[in-house]
Chain A
Amino acid sequence: MTFVPFESGLILAAVLFLLGLIGVLVRRNIIFMLLSTEIMLNASGLAFVTASARWMQPEGQIMFIFILAMAAAEVSVGLALIMQIYHQFKTLDTDTLSNMKG
């Protein structure tokens, strides 16, 4: 059996996570923000699976399954909300959607 170094997996997960973070911070279109959030979720799942491989236990994979379920639910509701936003405000620019200020 070959082995994968533990730190590399974690560093990869960190890099992907931070790329997703950059996407959230930079893009103004809400669909891209949601997409970037998915990247972040995926990256954190990668970290869990890496950890489970290191300790040779299935718990990390189980955690990834839960994350997956949660991401699915979140995406469905989020996209429905995005459609409502487009319907109401006719724009997908988050900087203009600032009614909740103050």
Chain B
Amino acid sequence: MLIIFYLSAVVAVVSTLMVITRKDAVHALLYLIVSLLAISIIFFALGAPFIAALEVIIYAGAIMVLFIFVVMMLNLGRESIQQESQLLKPRMWFGPVILTLILIVEFIILFSKIRGQHYPALSISPKVVGVSLFSTYLLGVELSAVLLMAGIVGAYYLGKGKKRILHRYLANTESDSKAEGETK
């Protein structure tokens, strides 16, 4: 178990690194999918099979696909890749990397203070999760349903094309031509 964990961890970290350094959007997305799959294996190793499945189905399967659809719809061609390479100069990495290194060090210090007794990895079955979800945390479920509903409505509205506002003379001619087209 432990070796699976460490291997998947390495894969996840490496592929995440590739995500953030790619210039082509689709390549980055594909690397992210790899990273998500690696994390799913980690979930298995941690004894959360339900979550592992959900990760693959929803995160890698739906959300990433959504991303890919949008990227393809935006039709960013070769020029965008060249643009990206212009935007992504090496000296821009300098500041964020420093900050992040400091944060990493602090996190490691914090987490190493939790002196490790090793706990047994018990697998928590989906049944336990489901029972808990629909009894104790029912309100949360309802709220996420509302949230998803809001997301749907918002996405629909934002994705709708804007109505073109024509001058009334032009509007008349357009409807006239349409009527002519229909009768003919």
**What residues make up the interface of A, taking CB atoms closer than 8 Å to B?**
1-12, 14-16, 18-23, 25-29, 31-32, 34-36, 38-39, 42, 46, 49-50, 52-54, 56-62, 64-66, 68-77, 79-84, 86, 92-93
The number of A-B residue pairs with CB atoms under 8 Å apart is: 223
- 13 A-B pairs whose Cβ atoms sit less than 8 Å apart in the complex: A15-B13, A16-B12, A18-B104, A29-B84, A46-B42, A49-B46, A52-B48, A61-B51, A72-B62, A76-B66, A80-B158, A83-B159, A93-B87
Chain A residue numbers with a CB within 8 Å of B137 are 62
Bound together, the chains give a CA A29 to CA B20 distance in angstroms of 11
Contact B122 A1 (CB under 8 A): yes
Contact A49 B59 (CB under 8 A): no
Known: A65-B54, A68-B59. A31 touches B70 (CB 8 A): yes
Contact B51 A80 (CB under 8 A): no
A32 CB contact (under 8 Å) in B25, B51, B55: B25
B20 CB contact (under 8 Å) in A12, A26, A62: A26
Contact A56 B122 (CB under 8 A): yes
Interface flags for B88-112 (1: CB within 8 Å of A; 0: not) read: 1000110111011001100110011
Give B103 Cβ to nearest chain A Cβ, in Å.
6
Chain A residue numbers with a CB within 8 Å of B74 are 31, 82-83, 86, 92
Contact A72 B63 (CB under 8 A): yes
Give A41 Cβ to nearest chain B Cβ, in Å.
9
Bound together, the chains give a CA A22 to CA B51 distance in angstroms of 26
Contact B66 A1 (CB under 8 A): no
Contact B158 A19 (CB under 8 A): no
Contact B13 A19 (CB under 8 A): yes
Residue of B nearest to A48 (CB): B51
Give B11 Cβ to nearest chain A Cβ, in Å.
11
Contact B87 A58 (CB under 8 A): no
Known: A2-B2, A16-B16. A25 touches B95 (CB 8 A): yes
Chain B residue numbers with a CB within 8 Å of A42 are 36, 39, 59
Interface flags for B36-64 (1: CB within 8 Å of A; 0: not) read: 10010011011110110011001100110
Chain B residue numbers with a CB within 8 Å of A80 are 154-155, 158-159
